[in-house]
């Protein structure tokens, strides 16, 4: 019999709790607790987000863990929220047992999400954020769909629901008390999002860390839509392997 686990599922760029509904439902059918919520600035495209920074989102997740007195949590992050999840795990090791990064950015001391891009791309995106009233606009539906194992209908559903992301959250630097490599973590590689299966060197380096493992899904960077069954089973397996 599998052990009941507590999962907290954090949405990535431009999305909210709605992105995780299908996976959360499946985890609950497996007998686990699964919680989703939307981070500030991502439930209303018209609200002022000038006060919302990276720490805002980190504090919100910490508050949820505290409010429900959650311990031994499996914190699951997608895309942008990998940075949030890593900072939360660093600050609350007594509550977070394991952090799962699903095609997610990793937090590094003094670096922002945009620092993962070449300088010219980062500068362009910063200009776009400024011109867009402090928000980072979502991509075109073609970009969302291309090579990501989504049907046209799935891509259109996803793009219509997306909300421009609070810009400060991706431009502000991370603060960590220890390197992300010291966390208990799993990185989920979605093969169709990578040319020749290659991942970034900073991610590949984690294979050498004893507290990290890697899982693979043969799908694109939106597995909660393209393969929710496979992703839910993978998460359940990660939890089962910790017994």
pLDDT at 198 (0 to 100): 76
Give the residue-averaged pLDDT of 14-31.
97
Q: Is 238 within 8 Å of 215 (Cβ atoms)?
A: yes
Output phi, psi for 136, to 5 deg: -100, 110
- Lowest pLDDT segment from 162-166, 193-197, 230-234: 193-197
Give the residue-averaged pLDDT of 58-87.
98
What is this structure's pTM?
A: 0.96
pLDDT at 174 (0 to 100): 98
- Neighbour count for residue 104 (Cβ, 10 Å): 26
Let me know if residue 13 belongs to a domain: yes
Distance, in Å, from the CA atom of 96 to the CA atom of 98, rounded to the nearest integer, reads 6
Tell me the pairing of strands 212-217 and 185-190: parallel
pLDDT surpasses 60 at 216: yes
Domain range for 69 is 6-241
80-137 residue pLDDT tens = 999 999 999 999 999 999 999 999 999 999 999 999 999 999 999 999 999 999 999 9
Among candidate residues 97, 65, 74, 80, the one with its CA nearest the CA of residue 174: 80
Kindly indicate the confidence band of residue 172, based on its pLDDT and cuts at 50, 70 and 90.
very high
Let me know if residue 175 belongs to a domain: yes
Here the tokens at position 44 are: 């209303």
Q: How many CA atoms lie within 13 A of 206 on its CB side?
A: 24
pLDDT at 199 (0 to 100): 87
Q: Tell me the residue length of the chain.
A: 243
Distance, in Å, from the CA atom of 142 to the CA atom of 155, rounded to the nearest integer, reads 8
Let me know if residue 14 belongs to a domain: yes
Among candidate residues 120, 106, 100, the one with its CA nearest the CA of residue 188: 100
Let me know if residue 152 belongs to a domain: yes
pLDDT at 207 (0 to 100): 94
pLDDT at 142 (0 to 100): 86
Among candidate residues 217, 183, 196, 197, the one with its CA nearest the CA of residue 100: 183
Give the residue-averaged pLDDT of 9-32.
97
Q: Report how many domains make up the chain.
A: 1
CATH number at residue 179: 3.40.50.1820
Q: What percent of the chain has pLDDT over 70?
A: 98
Residues facing residue 182 across a β-bridge: none
pLDDT at 197 (0 to 100): 64
Distance, in Å, from the CA atom of 174 to the CA atom of 202, rounded to the nearest integer, reads 16
Average pLDDT, the chain: 95
Let me know if residue 1 belongs to a domain: no
pLDDT surpasses 50 at 41: yes
Tell me the pairing of strands 185-190 and 96-102: parallel
Let me know if residue 70 belongs to a domain: yes
Output phi, psi for 113, to 5 deg: -60, -45
Kindly indicate the confidence band of residue 1, based on its pLDDT and cuts at 50, 70 and 90.
very low
Residues facing residue 136 across a β-bridge: 165
């Amino acid at each position: 019999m599998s052990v009941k686990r507590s999962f907290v599922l954090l949405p990535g760029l431009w999305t909210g709790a709605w992105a995780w509904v299908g996976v959360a439902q499946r985890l609950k059918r497996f007998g686990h607790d699964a919680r989703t919520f939307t981070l500030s600035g991502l439930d209303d495209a018209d609200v002022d987000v000038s006060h919302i920074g990276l720490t805002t989102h980190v504090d919100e997740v910490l508050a949820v863990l505290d409010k429900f007195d959650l311990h031994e949590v499996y914190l699951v992050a997608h895309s942008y929220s990998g940075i949030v999840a890593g900072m939360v795990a660093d600050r609350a090791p007594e509550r977070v047992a394991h952090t799962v990064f699903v095609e997610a950015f990793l937090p590094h001391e003094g670096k922002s999400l945009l620092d993962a891009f070449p300088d010219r791309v980062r500068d362009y995106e910063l200009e776009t954020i400024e011109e867009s009233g402090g928000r980072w606009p979502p991509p075109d539906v073609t970009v969302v769909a291309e090579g990501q194992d989504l049907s046209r209908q799935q891509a259109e559903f996803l793009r219509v629901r997306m909300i421009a992301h609070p810009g400060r959250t991706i431009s502000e630097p991370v603060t960590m008390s220890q390197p992300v490599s010291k966390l208990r973590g799993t990185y989920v590689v979605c093969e169709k999002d990578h040319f020749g299966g290659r991942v970034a060197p900073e991610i590949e380096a984690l294979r050498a860390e004893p507290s990290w493992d890697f899982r693979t899904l043969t799908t694109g960077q939106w597995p909660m839509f393209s393969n929710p069954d496979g992703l839910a089973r993978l998460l359940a397996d990660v939890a089962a392997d910790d017994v």
